Amino acid sequence: MATRAVNPVPVPSERLQKLLLDTNRPDPYPVTDTLVIVPPTKKRRDELRESHREIEIAQQLLARALLTAPSPRPEFPAIPGALPDKATAKQQASYKVEVTQFEKLAAGWEQLSAAWEGGVAKFEAAVAAHRAKISEQADRYTRALFGAAYDEVLAFFDDQDPELWDAFQVDLQEHFRIIPKAPEVPDDGTCPHCGHVEDTEQAGKAPESSD
């Protein structure tokens, strides 16, 4: 029986291996004693960039759609009151005019109401589509961020505090240099390296005592 040939895995050249050693890559991110997230590959980085771009576009479209929220439903016209039992001819004539006017207004209201309902349905469909797009791309982003550890990471954090989950995602993205790390403002409000004032209200003041 003939065996199927297996394509050999390309081996990086010595030059590329040296370049890899000289590259300042982020370390893997330990989540637990048995769970580690490896740094994003180029493919995962591309997924992160593309999904982030799609999220921003969908958020902008959602914001625009929300600005077109329909006004309240048109009010139904006031129904004419009851005609007195012993109405005069003048009252009967006046009442007939009111009823005729009401019927015209009611017919117009039905058209306005139908148009309003169509506008509401269109608005709700657009909003739902944009939100679904954001949710879809957010999941795509998270999968690219966690890589092969996606399922295990989500399972672990299911039983953790939501505040820890939020802080973890920020810390992970900073660790992998996906987002810039937030600068730490010294207690006296002045950067110790360059002297730049980060906090004008605190600059020049002594750090508060912890006592």
Ordered by start, the domain boundaries in the chain are 30-176
> What size, in residues, is the chain?
211
Q: What is the pLDDT of residue 203?
A: 45
Q: What is the pLDDT of residue 177?
A: 93
pLDDT of 80 over the 90 cut:
no
pLDDT of 51 over the 60 cut:
yes
pLDDT of 207 over the 50 cut:
no
Which range among 34-38, 72-76, 85-89, 132-136 shows the weakest confidence by mean pLDDT?
85-89
Q: What is the pLDDT of residue 198?
A: 46
Closest C-alpha to 136, from 44, 45, 54, 64: 54
pLDDT of 75 over the 50 cut:
yes
Q: How far apart are CA 122 and CA 54, in angstroms?
A: 22
> Residue 45: pLDDT band by 50, 70, 90 thresholds?
very high
Quickly count: other Cβ atoms within 10 Å of residue 143's Cβ.
17
CB 188 within 8 A of CB 207: yes
173: CB partners within 8 A, 6+ apart:
145, 179
Q: What is the model's pTM?
A: 0.69
Q: How far apart are CA 89 and CA 116, in angstroms?
A: 40
pLDDT of 142 over the 90 cut:
yes
Residue 101 parent element (H or E):
helix 89-146
36: three-class secondary structure by DSSP: strand
pLDDT of 191 over the 80 cut:
no
pLDDT of 210 over the 50 cut:
no
What DSSP character marks residue 194? T
> 57 is written with which tokens?
């576009």
Q: How far apart are CA 103 and CA 79, in angstroms?
A: 9
Over residues 7-27, the mean pLDDT reads 81
CB 58 within 8 A of CB 137: yes
Q: What is the pLDDT of residue 99?
A: 85
Over residues 23-35, the mean pLDDT reads 93
> 115 is written with which tokens?
């148009």
